[in-house]
Amino acid sequence: MRTSTRRGYRDIVADDIELMPLMNLFVAMIPMLLISAVFLNVTVIDMKAPPEAADAGADQKDNIALAITIKDDYYVVEGRGVEKRVITRANADAQEQLADALAGVVAEHPDNQDIMIISEQDTQYGDIVAVMDISRDSGLPAVSLLGAN
């Protein structure tokens, strides 16, 4: 009698854990999650409306009207009271030079956070976003886009 009870406990303990319900749950959940999962980290760049010519009058003194013009072969950094810089895009370190030029302007005019990016009609969107990144990383987050005349 005593021996059979001990064997009964041993039978219960020796049994494998029943994993099938858990496996079924996982197998059902994983495809569902895979379908709706987002693997790309999509973020946004908030745009600032370009300054109106009429608004320029009031705070024209403080506004240095900093602008980067994206040409096919070069960037031009210029503004009121800012030394004009022309950076050749073919240079391997053109983006570093542009970042340095903007960092210099930020150091001279720490209150200014605005910058206009002036593009040609055939400037590619990817190039514009790259310049926007450089501007933001240099401390000029308020970017507005303008078209070259």
Residues that bind another protein (CB under 8 A): 19, 22-23, 26-27, 29-30, 33-34, 37-47, 49, 119-126, 128-130, 132-133, 136-137, 145, 147
109 vs 136, beta carbon nearer another protein: 136
Least separation in angstroms between residue 7's CB and another protein is 29
Please, what is the minimum distance in Å from the beta carbon of residue 42 to another protein? 5
Contacts of 117 (CB under 8 A, 6+ apart): 67, 68, 70, 128, 131, 132, 135, 143, 144, 145, 146
31/110 with CB nearer another protein: 31
In the bound complex, what is the minimum distance in angstroms from residue 139's beta carbon to another protein? 13
Report the DSSP beta bridge partners of residue 67: 78, 116
The residue among 17 and 92 lying less far from another protein, judged by its C-beta, is 17
The helix/strand/coil state of 27 is: helix
Q: Which is nearer to another protein, 29 or 56 (CB)?
A: 29
Give the burial string for 24-54 (b: 16+ CB within 10 Å, else e): eeeeeeeeeeeeeeeeeeeeeeeeeeeeeee
Query: Tokens 């990817």 — which residue?
Result: 126
Distance CA 64, CA 51 (A): 12
Give me the least distance between CB of 20 and another protein, in Å please. Answer: 11
